[in-house]
Chain A
């Protein structure tokens, strides 16, 4: 829920997949799910390697 994180002042926010599975998708096969998770983590690491000015929300382009 990025809006709450934003309100609280979190500076680097990546919107996750869903509440019960932030970096997963049980509807996918294990390999495809891991691919998706990898995309999320790479996006998160990318955000860590960028400077930000304040609360910044990014989403994964799937």
Chain B
């Protein structure tokens, strides 16, 4: 019985899709039947087992202007083909193209659940943004490695779609070892069967690290970006200072619905009524001291004194609070951005004192 051929759709930018160079980077979406440009080489690698039925092409500038919206637009062009596989790029080191490939993969996988495969250089910005949502194969930072990358993409695609269970994983899901298939770890945490216990493995790795010998981390911590320090404030006696805290001080009744752990929300609370009637919502520390005297967390009494004495211009009348107990750092960053935006909207605030438990 002949094996059924898998159907694949391929995404390319304006250059590889043979529309034009940078001058055509703001072209919108178009679809060409069958493989185009590098798609022809990809089709060779796919052989008889899969067929690139169409190529979706979009200009890098057009896509970069609004990646999420464009991914939705592109997805609409992919779906009618009912593909079994989706390929994008390779994008190599390209910024806009890599983001477009990643965003297309994410949208297609999210809607259809089919394997989505692209390729980027290790420093491409699209990698960290989309590695969780797609199989991103390793690629050099130049297009001379094209054929080898396409070969890898095809090989990985067939492995995933083969239905072969990954027996080393508890879930048995189609997540082959990144090193074996030359793709970037997707940073998905999965339980694996191991011969040695965690105690043995961690001690071995620690000893290797201390000896300066190579070792492999099993969980990679996230990289945090540097924030350029704002310049010093000049005349404190003319400045308005705002108070922020993650210690969970909220109005009695917790109207904002902050959670005691893994919280995702923050609130803006008027200081005067807050200090008359409050509670502490935070499972990560012993709340009683703050509950007895909230200035131990949000130093309103001292700030008021300093304003009276003319040392500080003004205390911002609103305090911004959240609960930072086992909150994902990404959400913390977002809350910080949102609070800052609110402060900017209100205007006049020169600096912030944020107290943390």
Residues on A facing B (Cβ under 8 Å)? 1, 5, 7-12, 16, 19-24, 26, 30, 33-34, 37-38, 40-42, 44-45, 48-54
Is the Cβ of B355 less than 8 Å from the Cβ of A22? yes
CB distance from B239 to the nearest CB of A (A): 8
Within 8 A of A (CB), among B200-231: 224-227, 229-231
Measured between alpha carbons, how far is A12 from B354 in the docked complex, in Å? 10
Interface size on B, residues (CB 8 A): 38
Is the Cβ of A9 less than 8 Å from the Cβ of B226? yes
- Among B225, B285, B296, B311, contact of A23 (Cβ-Cβ < 8 Å): B296
Q: Is B288 an interface residue (CB 8 A)?
A: yes
Interface hit among B63-71, B185-193, B302-310: B302-310
User: Given the complex, which residues of A lie within 8 Å of B169, measured CB to CB?
Assistant: none
Residues on B facing A (Cβ under 8 Å)? 224-227, 229-234, 236, 241, 247, 285-290, 292-293, 295-297, 299, 301-303, 305-306, 311-312, 329, 351, 353, 355-357
- Among A5, A24, A49, A51, contact of B289 (Cβ-Cβ < 8 Å): A24
Measured between alpha carbons, how far is A32 from B350 in the docked complex, in Å? 29
A-B contact pairs, 9 of them (CB 8 A): A16-B355, A20-B290, A22-B247, A23-B299, A24-B290, A26-B292, A37-B302, A38-B302, A44-B353
User: Given the complex, which residues of A lie within 8 Å of B356, measured CB to CB?
Assistant: 1, 5, 16, 22
Is the Cβ of B236 less than 8 Å from the Cβ of A9? no
Is the Cβ of B302 less than 8 Å from the Cβ of A34? yes
CB distance from A19 to the nearest CB of B (A): 5
User: Given the complex, which residues of B lie within 8 Å of A16, measured CB to CB?
Assistant: 355-356
Is the Cβ of A37 less than 8 Å from the Cβ of B226? no
User: Given the complex, which residues of B lie within 8 Å of A11, measured CB to CB?
Assistant: 227, 229-230
Measured between alpha carbons, how far is A60 from B292 in the docked complex, in Å? 24
User: Given the complex, which residues of B lie within 8 Å of A52, measured CB to CB?
Assistant: 229
Is the Cβ of A40 less than 8 Å from the Cβ of B299? yes
Measured between alpha carbons, how far is A30 from B329 in the docked complex, in Å? 35
- Among A20, A23, A45, A54, contact of B229 (Cβ-Cβ < 8 Å): A54
